[in-house]
Structure 1
Amino acid sequence: MTVEHRPDTVSATADRHGHRFLLIGKKTIFSYHLGLYYVPIHAFQMITRFGLPDGLRDTYLSDLEAHEDQQVYYSLFTEGHWPLQDIVDGRRTSLPVELERVTVDAQGNRTFTPLLPAVDATCRKEDVVHYRPLEPDAGYPDFLTALSFGQADEVHLAHRLAGAPNWDEVITTVDPRGFQPGDLAPAGTVTVSTVKDPHGAAPKSPLSTGTRYEGTTGGRTVAFTAGRQGWWNNTSLNKK
């Protein structure tokens, strides 16, 4: 069940200047940038893969296993307000990252807790599967629209951010059917015509965990069951 989120309460680490990337997946671990509409350096929706040291990867996977059924997320924090375009263009090939556990209390407040000190991760421009600027004045689609990414049978869906205010969410699907490699890298666009877009900062996910959905991508039908939520934000995303 998705908890309604209220204004954030976070640890001191959340106040440092830098980028955060949510870790998504198990077999292949993707990194999803924490975007902010009204902070220019963060006003991008980006999905990529980092080369992660074994120790960080193992810590993430073991901690995720211990908290699988809880509303717990995982992020990489990297210091500095450098442009994400540096990764896309290949000017930046590595960065120091700190692994954090992001916990959510009953009121929806988030706390960022460091799990490991900074280690170096590699980044390659060819591993970027989605990158586009956020446009707060853009309109809203009629129906729920998501970005599909992943590898093989591990398929994730990120809400495709249009106008502001909005909500940011990533889920991992269960029993995905009909997705092709070209739908995942670069990230494809999936439209679920049975779910209306809320046209705003939804108080909870329009997708119900355990429910089966059909969508279309590239003129084809795909199907999935909504699984674990890997990220949710309808607060700081929209703050001016």
Structure 2
Amino acid sequence: MSTPDASPEHGGHEHIHRFLILGKEKLFFYHLSLYNPDLGHHYQAVFSFQIQGDDLKEMYLKDLKENEDKRVYYSLRCPHHFELPELQDGKDFRVFLERVVVQDDGSRKFEQMTPTEAPVLVKCRPEDVLSFRDLADRPLPYPERLTYLAFGAGKEVHFAHQLAERPNWDEVITVTTKQSIDDATLKKVPPVVIDSINDPKGVIKESLLKKGQQYQGKISTGNQTVDFIVGRQGWWNHTSLNTA
């Protein structure tokens, strides 16, 4: 089952929330942000929701296995809008699973995978809100060096580009670390600074971190140095993030 792309670059903004899905063993969820404060999506946030039943996770993992080497992302789409800060107090809501296909021209096609008549229940407890920042009320200046946010559990570690000033780009990658990062540190979603790469201080059209290459980052919490190899890209946006 599929639905038409509803992103701003395809003919208008749809007033709902989307959360990127990351991981295989333990799932994490990353809110898809837009800088424009009038649209209600101006938040960079990481969650560990509780999803009712196993069907959605099984469908996601099966489809991910078939598309592992393609520019295909996965998200939860909420059919009804709510104000995102409500999640900080705990909230139940319903979602559809989507496959997000990046087409040859760089545009994204959102394909609904779960049936419209059976949205899946998601529970968000206050402790499931791992990181939450209002891009409008708590803006960050461009950093001097490339900076990401680290989250995950066990050997599954994900880096999300820290959204600073506008314009910018939004990216999430999964990495393999040479040194283990304990779960307590990852739960804090600390910044990781890559001293070898200057921040471009603006929008770019492709990642500065190349798949299969190794880099070194410094985790702000505990000042730990970690070597990591870039794996699968789980999200990229340098268009509607800035212009919607």
Regarding TM over 0.5, the answer is yes
Partner of 1:17: 15
2:79 equivalent to 1:75: no
Partner of 2:41: 42
- Of all paired residues, the percent bearing the same amino acid is 42
Q: Is the CA contact (8 Å cut-off) linking 1:182 and 1:188 kept in structure 2?
A: no
- Deviation at residue 197 of structure 1 after TM alignment: 0.9
Q: Distance in 2 between matches of 1:77 and 1:237?
A: 17
Q: Please say which of residues 46-55 and 56-65 is displaced more in the overlay.
A: 46-55
Q: Is the CA contact (8 Å cut-off) linking 2:79 and 2:96 kept in structure 1?
A: no
TM superposition score normalised by structure 2: 0.89
- Deviation at residue 166 of structure 1 after TM alignment: 0.3
RMSD: 1.6
Match for 2:212: what amino acid? Answer: G
Unpaired runs of 5+ in structure 2? 8-12
Alignment of 1:116-155 (within 5 A): 116-117=114-115, 118-135=119-136, 138-155=140-157
Q: How many residues align?
A: 229
- Deviation at residue 119 of structure 1 after TM alignment: 1.3
Partner of 2:230: 226
Q: Which deviations, in whole Å up to 9, do the C-alpha atoms of 1:158-206 show, x marking residues without a partner? A: 0010000000000000244242223210211110001111111111001
Match for 1:235: what amino acid? Answer: T
Distance 1:17 1:144, change over 3 A: same
SS of the counterpart of 2:133? Answer: strand
Q: Please say which of residues 227-236 and 78-87 is displaced more in the overlay.
A: 78-87
Q: Distance in 2 between matches of 1:12 and 1:170?
A: 21
2:234 equivalent to 1:235: no
Q: Is the CA contact (8 Å cut-off) linking 1:17 and 1:79 kept in structure 2?
A: no
Partner of 2:190: 188
Q: Is the CA contact (8 Å cut-off) linking 2:5 and 2:108 kept in structure 1?
A: no
SS of the counterpart of 1:46? Answer: strand
Q: Which deviations, in whole Å up to 9, do the C-alpha atoms of 1:17-55 show, x marking residues without a partner? A: 210000011111111000000044100001001112300
SS of the counterpart of 1:80? Answer: coil
Q: Is the CA contact (8 Å cut-off) linking 1:155 and 1:176 kept in structure 2?
A: no
- Alignment partner of 2:215 out of 213, 216, 219: 213
SS of the counterpart of 1:187? Answer: coil
Q: Distance in 1 between matches of 2:163 and 2:201?
A: 11
Match for 2:49: what amino acid? Answer: F
Q: Distance in 1 between matches of 2:69 and 2:47?
A: 25
Q: Please say which of residues 11-20 and 124-133 is displaced more in the overlay.
A: 11-20
Distance 1:222 1:87, change over 3 A: same
Q: Is the CA contact (8 Å cut-off) linking 2:45 and 2:133 kept in structure 1?
A: yes
